[in-house]
């Protein structure tokens, strides 16, 4: 009985093996055949290697043919790179060299520079000046002749300083503004304005004048003397008492307000004026 059972088991095993063989063959993938020609030159009969028989067992005479690395080596073409540029001796280099930015020169000022302890010491280069404005400074004196040599000067603006003496003026002056100083009548030259034939605007308000600085040029259009200490005036201050036909048409603006003078006491001083001065008439 056991023999029959063993025989059955063997039969079943053989049947299962027969069924498994066809299934396995359908999944087989062909393996690339190994080319053994490269090993034909190797003598494998005796592969017992040692330092003494290494050259006899392995023949390296055709080793380059078996392993050709030529395709792996990078190819270098001669002449593909430009040689570095060389600067010939004695020739300037074109390489940019950083240079310091040029220092800017300060603008040349046309304003006269003071020389010495006084206000100005003009030099001949300033002869073409037409206007000088020195408003709101601490100027207390002016060197003698400082403005006289400025033959082109037309406007001299000196308000709000500490002047007590009026400087000499060039004959080209048209406007003189010296308000808010401490100019006294003793600080004016006698007949200081007679020869100023181009003078049109004379503003000396807020000073310490005791009288009107006559004679005044015929060119004068505006005279401001308010807020001084003027108490009287001459009969010929504005008009020529010997010529009753004399008319000063240009002088239309006279201010004497703020002075302790009673203008009604001098009616003959205004007959040639196109309008009466501004001030106190009582």
Which helix (DSSP H) or strand (DSSP E) does residue 6 occupy?
A: helix 2-26
Peptide bond into 8 cis (omega under 30): no
Closest alpha carbon to 167 in 184, 149, 188: 188
The confidence score (pLDDT) of residue 192 equals: 93
**Average confidence (pLDDT) per 10 residues, the chain, 282 residues:** 61 62 48 50 53 54 51 53 55 55 56 46 65 95 88 95 94 97 95 95 98 95 97 92 90 96 93 94 90
For residues 24 and 47, what is the distance between their CA atoms, to the nearest angstrom? 38
The confidence score (pLDDT) of residue 146 equals: 86
Q: Which two tokens stand for residue 210?
A: 């005791």
Residue listed under structure tokens 């001030």: 279
Q: What is the pTM of this model?
A: 0.58
Beta bridge partner(s), residue 203: 177, 224
The strand ranges marked E within 198-277 are 201-203, 222-224, 253-255
Q: Which two tokens stand for residue 95?
A: 């390489």
The confidence score (pLDDT) of residue 128 equals: 84
Burial 182-205 (b: 16+ CB within 10 A, else e): ebbeebbeeeebeebeebbbbbbb
Domains of the chain: 112-282 (3.80.10.10)
The confidence score (pLDDT) of residue 60 equals: 53
Contact predicate 239/271, CB 8 Å: yes
For residues 180 and 173, what is the distance between their CA atoms, to the nearest angstrom? 20
């Amino acid at each position: 009985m056991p023999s029959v059972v063993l025989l059955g088991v063997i039969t079943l095993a053989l049947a299962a093996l027969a069924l498994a063989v066809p299934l396995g063959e359908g999944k087989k993938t062909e393996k690339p055949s190994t080319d053994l020609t490269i090993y034909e030159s190797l003598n494998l009969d005796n592969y017992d290697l040692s330092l003494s028989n290494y050259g006899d067992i392995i023949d390296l005479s055709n080793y380059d043919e078996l392993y050709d690395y030529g395709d792996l080596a990078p190819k270098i073409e001669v002449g593909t790179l430009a040689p570095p540029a060389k600067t010939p001796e004695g020739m300037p280099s074109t390489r940019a060299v950083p240079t310091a930015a040029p220092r800017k020169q300060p603008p040349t000022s046309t304003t006269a520079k003071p020389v010495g302890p006084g206000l100005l010491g003009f030099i001949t280069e300033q002869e073409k000046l037409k206007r000088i404005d020195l408003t709101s400074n601490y100027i207390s004196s002016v060197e003698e002749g400082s403005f006289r040599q400025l033959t082109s000067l037309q406007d001299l603006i000196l308000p709000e300083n500490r002047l007590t003496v009026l400087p000499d003026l060039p004959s080209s002056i048209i406007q003189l503004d010296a308000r808010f100083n401490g100019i006294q009548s003793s600080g004016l030259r006698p007949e200081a304005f007679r020869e100023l034939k181009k003078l049109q605007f004379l503003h000396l308000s807020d000073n310490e004048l005791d009288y009107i600085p006559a004679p005044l040029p015929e060119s004068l259009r505006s005279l401001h003397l308010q807020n001084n200490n003027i108490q009287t005036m001459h009969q010929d201050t504005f008009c020529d008492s010997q010529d009753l036909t004399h008319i000063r048409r240009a002088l239309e603006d006279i201010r004497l307000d703020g002075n302790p003078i009673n203008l009604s006491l001098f009616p003959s001083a205004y007959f040639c004026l196109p309008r009466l001065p501004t001030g106190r008439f009582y």
